[in-house]
Amino acid sequence: MGDPRGFIKIRRGEGGAREQASRCMDCGTPFCHWGCPIGNYIPEWNDLVFNDQWERAFELLDATNNMPEITGRICPAHCEFACVLEINDDPVTIRENELAVIERAFKKGWVVPRPPSRRTGFEVAVVGSGPAGLSAAAQLNKMGHSVTVFEQDDSVGGILRYGIPDFKLEKWILDRRIEIWKKEGIKFKTSVKADSRLVSEFDAVCLAIGCRTPRDLKIPGRELEGIHFAMDYLVQANKKTGPINAKGKKVVVIGGGDTGADCVGTANRQGAKCVVQIELLSQPPECRDESCPWPKYPLLLKAASCREDEAERRWSILTRRFKGQDAKVKSLECVKVKFEGSKMIEVPGTEFEIEADLIILAIGFVKQEIGTEWQDKKVFPAGDVARGPSLVVWAIYEGREAARRISAALTRA
């Protein structure tokens, strides 16, 4: 603990990373560890940053996280909400400090390819190049196994490349890391629809195909032109190709989560005439209440970076039907709702319509079932296909854990 009174003298957001690192209290029980799926050494590298030992801080960060430059930008930072300071003060800027450490490491040349000193002779296939697949591949390669990553899209990255807008994650950041992994010996094969024949060709298979099956809104008018799933919209926006574009349109985003926020930001940047975002649930509180005691992650009202140019946000809204003309959507018929326990009740007399010629459905994903062709003891699921739709940081954990299980199975064989 560099400065025992740092959290008293320095407010969150003051100064640079070193000043913010001084606020870390080196708690006897660091609950930030409890909030972080991958178990980052948070108090330790904060102390090292405060004491200007950046290279050692990077070494600790690199020991637990394969992509800190990614999580340092897009992770919802459960660790910060579990920070002991969160009890009655603003938490330590853990995510920003993490990003400061890894970006300094890249700038100083500390992040370099480190191929394994020996190879085990085992060959492992990784199907899917999202955060789970990439983390599994990186860990397996470190262990000395020969790894080939198969990706059905034309570039590596999965949801990191095609599901997250550039204004949150520029793709050169991803490419920078992938080039290092290539130099460490990982092979990447793109535009390949991998199938279960890999089971006979490799000693083990890590199945990290994600969970891209969107939840649909099956109401009258769903067949109208102009209604699209969020991931279809975001993928086209990232590829800068395809017919779905918000320019000059009245856009309604259904869904108030992070994916919905990404759609709002994308629509605004494409030049939408107006953007309205509606959410079935009620407006969350701006600060913790009795429903979300520390150290739980609270569902709070937050202004995402992608809403810098904002949208009209409406809460407790149920969409009853889509209405159109000449087979094209023109509006949504909605009603206000309230919840009594788990029961949703429509509020009489609150019906209204919202004009729209582009509607984006951002209401989540359905857990993807693993096909019977992959039911083999040599196949190890990881990421969203294993645990259901979740966060990037959980995908990283899943990939690392799958790598550990695969390596243990191979070395026992």
Categorize the per-residue pLDDT at 346 as very low, low, confident or very high, splitting at 50, 70 and 90. Answer: very high
pLDDT at 304 > cutoff 70? no
Buried b (16+ CB within 10 A) or exposed e, 240-257: eeeebbbeebbbbbbbbe
CA distance 202 to 198: 6
Return the exposure string of 368-395: e unless at least 16 CB atoms fall within 10 Å of the residue's CB, then b: beeeeebeeebbbbbbbbbbebbbbbbb
- The phi, psi pair for 21, rounded to 5°, reads -65, -30
Domain-located, residue 118: no
Q: Does residue 217 form part of some domain?
A: no
**Percent over 70 (pLDDT), the chain:** 97
> Is the pLDDT confidence value at 357 over 80?
yes
Residue 44's CB: how many other CB atoms inside 10 A? 16
Give the Å distances, CA to CA, from 335 to 144, 218, 346, 349, 353: 58, 16, 7, 8, 8
Share of the chain above pLDDT 90, in %: 81
Nearest residue to 254 via CA among 233, 273, 240: 233
H-helix or E-strand spanning residue 266: helix 258-269
Q: How far is CA 258 from CA 12, 157, 164, in A?
A: 24, 19, 10
The alpha carbon torsion through 44, 46, 52, 54 (nearest 10 deg) reads 80
Report pLDDT for 413: 65
Q: Does 202 share its domain with 139? A: yes
Establish if 98 belongs to a structural domain. Answer: yes
- Considering its fold, how many domains does the chain have in total? 3
pLDDT for the residue numbered 309: 54
**Ramachandran angles phi, psi of 277, nearest 5°:** -115, 125
**What pLDDT shows up at residue 302?**
67
Query: Which position has the token pair 């198969």?
Result: 150
Residues 99 and 148 occupy one common structural domain: no
Q: Residue 391 pLDDT more than 80?
A: yes
- Is the model's pLDDT at 198 over the cut of 80? yes
CATH number at residue 205: 3.50.50.60
Whether residue 115 is contained in a domain is answered as no
Cα-Cα-Cα-Cα dihedral sign, residues 123, 129, 134, 135: negative
Q: Are residues 11 and 55 both part of a single domain?
A: yes
Asked if 335 and 241 sit in the same domain, the reply is yes
Question: pLDDT tens for residues 159-173?
Answer: 999 999 999 999 999
pLDDT at residue 1, rounded to an integer = 61
From CA 411, how far away is CA 121, in angstroms rounded?
11
Least confident range from 20-29, 88-97, 174-183, 324-333: namely: 20-29
Please, is 101 exposed, middle or buried when counting C-beta atoms within 10 Å of its C-beta (0-12, 13-18, 19+)?
A: buried
Which range of 18-27, 83-92, 124-133, 210-219 scores highest in mean pLDDT? It is 124-133
Three-state SS annotation for 283-320: CCCCCCCCCCCCCCCCCCCCCCHHHCCCCEEECCEEEE
The answer to whether position 220 is within a domain reads no
pLDDT for position 145: 98
Q: What is the pLDDT of residues 51-90, one digit of tens each?
A: 999 999 999 999 999 999 999 999 999 999 999 999 989 9
pLDDT the model gives residue 308: 47
Is residue 306 predicted with pLDDT exceeding 60?
Answer: no
| Residue 236 shares a structural domain with residue 341 | yes
Provide the pLDDT confidence category of residue 341 given band limits of 50, 70 and 90. Answer: confident
Query: What DSSP letter does each residue of 345-405 carry, written as one string?
Result: EEPTT--EEEE-SEEEE-S-BPPPPPPGGG-STTEEE-THHHH-S--HHHHHHHHHHHHHH
pLDDT in tens, 19-59: 999 999 878 889 999 899 999 999 999 999 999 999 999 99
CATH number where 58 lies = 1.10.1060.10
Mean pLDDT computed over 285-312: 73
Tell me: do 206 and 231 sit in the same domain. Answer: no
Q: What's the pTM? A: 0.93
Domain end position, chosen among 55, 82, 108: 108
Residue 23 lies in a domain: yes
Per-residue pLDDT at 300: 79
Domain final position from 325, 346, 361:
361
Token reading at 182: 């290539």
- Is 1 a domain residue? no
In single-letter form, the type of residue at position 407 comes to S
Residue 228 confidence (pLDDT): 98
Task: Give yes or no: residues 332 and 374 share one domain.
Answer: no
Tens-place pLDDT, residues 232-266: 999 999 999 999 999 999 999 999 888 999 999 99
Per-residue confidence (pLDDT) for residue 127, from 0 to 100: 98
* Distance of alpha carbon 354 from alpha carbon 42, whole angstroms: 46
Interval 386-403 mean pLDDT: 95
Distance CA 61, CA 8 (A): 26
In a domain, 113, yes or no: no
CB 306 within 8 A of CB 262: yes
Q: Calculate the average pLDDT of the chain.
A: 93
